[in-house]
């Protein structure tokens, strides 16, 4: 018995295709991951049918649960349904031919082998029969099993054809190499380097789906090195490519900020599964090239790169069709603040500096600290240990101040309506001035973060502004 067909679902599918008298195979990711003993949370099964995939999808769905809704994509000859456990996609075996301007092929019915040829990689073209007489038989015309053993990503056909037909496959090659820790076979990689320009016909949404998958890998740096080496990075994320390289002046060299950035990304990936924090790590030094200066006295400086970097994010996100909502703002904020904890760790820290950071970072303070710790990439172990020790102190300090002053999610203890009422005034600039004065006094530690102290300051400040207390307060 083939272990890839152990799930009970294949018995059901076997009965359907056998009684319908069509040949069918499980193909692609399911087979690959089963042979790799890779566990997936989502169980995607791809079935290729020599005949109508749509018909088999409908019949199978009826057998599994008559209430299941089948989604049919007539134009593609595919259909899919899902239940609690599986998402199963059915496709009629097909032969594809492409014209050079688009990823959309002209499709006609084909044999199993035709269908395997249009797959992206040998390891994704493996098929297993699910018909009764041949249940569990492997159909592996391109040596996919062997390539799985050798840990190789290789196209089933001549690579130039595979990549030129659908250039997204170049991104997929690098994504699979990163996810599975495989090597891209030499000819295949060479062909990617020669076809990079073709990526321009692929929509940014598809490209970013692959980038996000690379970012979520255990060691995402591998993917970015391959993107860089192949020449794809220059086209899809030139700002990151610009970080590459070192420069020396008067014997002083700065580090390669591309290698540094992807090292930080690897570091942070040990401590977070938050995609957006990983993006922040990748892009935290993105403005180093545009802020770079050489100062004879002090050497290389990247003054303001955190601020300028955070301002570069909307453009980058827009081009990549990443969300322009609070996710983007979060990435900007983390980048903008990424040097602040380091400053706190180096100098004699005042409470007010800590309070201000807590106020500005709010609930993202923990994520910010995770980035700062990942940002220590010094090869000097003693130095690294010292920095990490310093950060421990910063964390303790943050905790102390937060417990004492609760400014992490600062809500002013006296709000606008209380000010309006106290002086019997209309909303206007005085309200803003007083609110501001209260916030600053709390952050500077001049008054505690409490109502009575804030109210007293409000009264003083109001009088300073020439406001007259309303009756209730004048009497008290």
Q: Which parts of this chain interact with ligand ATP (CB under 6 A)?
A: 28-29, 44, 46, 119-120, 124-125, 166, 168-169
Task: Give min distance, CB of 39 to ligand ATP, in A.
Answer: 12
Report the partner that residue 166 touches, choosing among Mg ion, ligand ATP, none (CB closer than 5 to 8 A by kind).
ligand ATP
Report the partner that residue 168 touches, choosing among ligand ATP, Mg ion, none (CB closer than 5 to 8 A by kind).
ligand ATP
The 34-73 site mask, x for binding Mg ion (CB under 5 A), equals ----------x-----------------------------
Task: Give min distance, CB of 384 to ligand ATP, in A.
Answer: 35
Q: Which of 330, 325, 293, 291 is nearest to 309 (CA)?
A: 291
Separation CA 445–CA 236 (nearest Å): 47
End-to-end Cα, the chain, rounded Å: 88
User: Judged by CB, which is closer to ligand ATP: 77, or 341?
Assistant: 77
Task: Give min distance, CB of 96 to ligand ATP, in A.
Answer: 9
Q: Which of 452, 439, 349 is nearest to 395 (CA)?
A: 349
Quickly count helices (H) and strands (E) in the chain.
25, 15
Report the partner that residue 199 touches, choosing among Mg ion, ligand ATP, none (CB closer than 5 to 8 A by kind).
none
Task: Give min distance, CB of 351 to ligand ATP, in A.
Answer: 50
Task: Give min distance, CB of 211 to ligand ATP, in A.
Answer: 13
Task: Give min distance, CB of 27 to ligand ATP, in A.
Answer: 6
DSSP string, 410-429: ---SS-HHHHHHHHT--SSH
Backbone φ/ψ region at 259: left (φ over 0), alpha (ψ -120 to 50), beta: alpha
User: Judged by CB, which is closer to ligand ATP: 46, or 405?
Assistant: 46
Report the partner that residue 26 touches, choosing among Mg ion, ligand ATP, none (CB closer than 5 to 8 A by kind).
none
Cα Dmax for the chain = 97
Report the partner that residue 119 touches, choosing among Mg ion, ligand ATP, none (CB closer than 5 to 8 A by kind).
ligand ATP
Separation CA 293–CA 279 (nearest Å): 26
With binding defined as CB under 5 A, does residue 29 bind Mg ion? yes
User: Judged by CB, which is closer to ligand ATP: 168, or 361?
Assistant: 168
Task: Give min distance, CB of 129 to ligand ATP, in A.
Answer: 16
Do 254 and 261 touch, CB atoms closer than 8 A?
A: no
User: Judged by CB, which is closer to Mg ion: 88, or 280?
Assistant: 88
User: Judged by CB, which is closer to ligand ATP: 205, or 452?
Assistant: 205
User: Judged by CB, which is closer to ligand ATP: 124, or 261?
Assistant: 124
Q: Which of 439, 405, 435, 436 is nearest to 420 (CA)?
A: 435
Separation CA 170–CA 154 (nearest Å): 11
Report the partner that residue 116 touches, choosing among Mg ion, ligand ATP, none (CB closer than 5 to 8 A by kind).
none
Task: Give min distance, CB of 370 to Mg ion, in A.
Answer: 30
User: Judged by CB, which is closer to ligand ATP: 46, or 306?
Assistant: 46
Separation CA 318–CA 461 (nearest Å): 44
Separation CA 422–CA 194 (nearest Å): 73
User: Tokens standing for 74?
Assistant: 């007539």
Report the partner that residue 120 touches, choosing among ligand ATP, Mg ion, none (CB closer than 5 to 8 A by kind).
ligand ATP
User: Judged by CB, which is closer to ligand ATP: 142, or 317?
Assistant: 142
Task: Give min distance, CB of 74 to ligand ATP, in A.
Answer: 19
Task: Give min distance, CB of 77 to ligand ATP, in A.
Answer: 14
User: Judged by CB, which is closer to ligand ATP: 147, or 166?
Assistant: 166
Do 168 and 207 touch, CB atoms closer than 8 A?
A: yes
How many CB atoms within 10 Å of residue 447?
Answer: 17
Please tell me the count of residues contacting Mg ion according to CB under 5 A: 2
Report the partner that residue 169 touches, choosing among Mg ion, ligand ATP, none (CB closer than 5 to 8 A by kind).
ligand ATP
User: Judged by CB, which is closer to ligand ATP: 180, or 369?
Assistant: 180
Residues that bind Mg ion (CB under 5 A): 29, 44
């Amino acid at each position: 018995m083939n272990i890839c067909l152990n799930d009970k679902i294949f018995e059901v599918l076997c009965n359907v295709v056998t009684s319908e008298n069509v040949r069918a195979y499980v193909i692609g990711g399911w087979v690959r991951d089963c042979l790799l003993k890779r566990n997936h949370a989502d169980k995607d099964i791809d079935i290729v049918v020599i005949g109508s995939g749509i018909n088999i999808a409908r019949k199978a769905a009826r057998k599994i649960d008559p209430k299941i809704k089948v989604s049919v994509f007539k134009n593609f000859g595919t259909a899919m349904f899902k239940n609690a456990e599986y998402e199963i996609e059915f496709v009629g075996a097909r032969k594809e031919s492409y014209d050079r301007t688009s990823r959309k092929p002209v499709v006609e019915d084909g044999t199993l082998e035709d269908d395997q040829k249009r797959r992206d990689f040998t390891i994704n073209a493996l098929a297993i029969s699910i018909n009764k007489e041949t249940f569990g038989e492997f159909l592996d015309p391109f040596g996919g099993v062997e390539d799985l053993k050798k840990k190789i990503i290789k196209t089933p056909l001549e690579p130039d054809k595979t990549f030129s037909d659908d250039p997204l496959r170049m991104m997929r090659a690098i994504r699979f190499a990163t996810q599975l820790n495989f090597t891209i076979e030499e000819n295949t990689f060479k062909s990617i380097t020669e076809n990079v320009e073709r990526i321009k016909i692929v929509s940014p949404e598809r490209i970013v789906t692959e980038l996000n998958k690379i970012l979520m890998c255990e060691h995402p740096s591998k993917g970015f090195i391959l993107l860089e080496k192949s020449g794809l990075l220059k086209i899809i994320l030139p700002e990151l490519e610009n970080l590459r390289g070192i420069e020396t002046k008067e014997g002083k060299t700065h580090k390669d900020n591309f290698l540094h950035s992807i090292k930080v990304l690897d570091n942070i990936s040990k401590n977070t599964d938050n995609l957006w924090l990983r993006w922040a790590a990748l892009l935290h030094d993105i403005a180093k090239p545009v802020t770079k200066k050489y100062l004879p006295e002090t050497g290389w400086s990247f003054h303001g790169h955190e601020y300028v970097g955070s301002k570069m994010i909307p453009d980058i996100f827009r081009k990549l069709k990443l969300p322009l909502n609070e996710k983007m703002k979060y990435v900007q904020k983390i980048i903008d603040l990424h040097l602040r904890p380091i400053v706190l760790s180096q100098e004699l820290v005042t409470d007010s500096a800590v309070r201000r950071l807590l106020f500005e970072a709010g609930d993202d303070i923990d994520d910010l600290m995770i980035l700062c710790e990942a940002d220590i990439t010094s090869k000097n172990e003693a130095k690294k240990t010292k920095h990490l020790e310093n950060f421990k102190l910063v964390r303790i300090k943050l905790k102390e101040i937060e417990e004492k002053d609760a400014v992490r999610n600062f809500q002013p203890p006296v709000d606008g309506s209380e000010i309006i009422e106290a002086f019997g005034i209309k909303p206007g600039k005085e309200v803003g001035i007083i609110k501001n004065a209260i916030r600053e006094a709390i952050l500077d530690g001049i008054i505690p973060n409490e109502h009575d102290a804030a109210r007293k300051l409000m009264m003083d400040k109001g009088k300073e502004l020439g406001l007259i207390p309303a009756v209730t307060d004048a009497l008290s």
